[in-house]
Amino acid sequence: MLLSQLPNGAHALVDRVFSGTPEVNGAVMQRLEELGFISGEPVQMLRRGPGGREPLAVQIGETLFALRLVEAQSIEVKVPEARAAFSRA
């Protein structure tokens, strides 16, 4: 799943950053990784801009970022399964 597909308020873990379009080149990918979008990092989609568009407000760690849609479409995430630990208790 792509970060851009997460609903508002949803949590996920970053899987990888990749170049899905020519706009997202090596420099953009490196910047996203330097900002903390690295494999295993928890991320939350907070909200979208007017009309559900740009910018996308996301939180990674303790930091809030505003991403362009094309950037969010270049970040693959994994949504953790329902809290299995609670269902086993």
CATH number at residue 30: 2.30.30.90
* 10-residue mean pLDDT series, the chain (89 residues): 96 94 91 96 96 94 94 95 52
Q: How many residues does the chain have?
A: 89
Total number of domains in the chain: 1
Residue 85 and residue 18: Cα distance in Å, rounded?
32
Domain that holds residue 53: 3-88
Beta carbons of 3 and 12 less than 8 angstroms apart: yes
Per DSSP bridges, beta strands 75-78 and 11-17 are antiparallel
Q: Which amino acid is at 26?
A: G
Looking at residue 78, its pLDDT comes to 97
Looking at residue 81, its pLDDT comes to 81
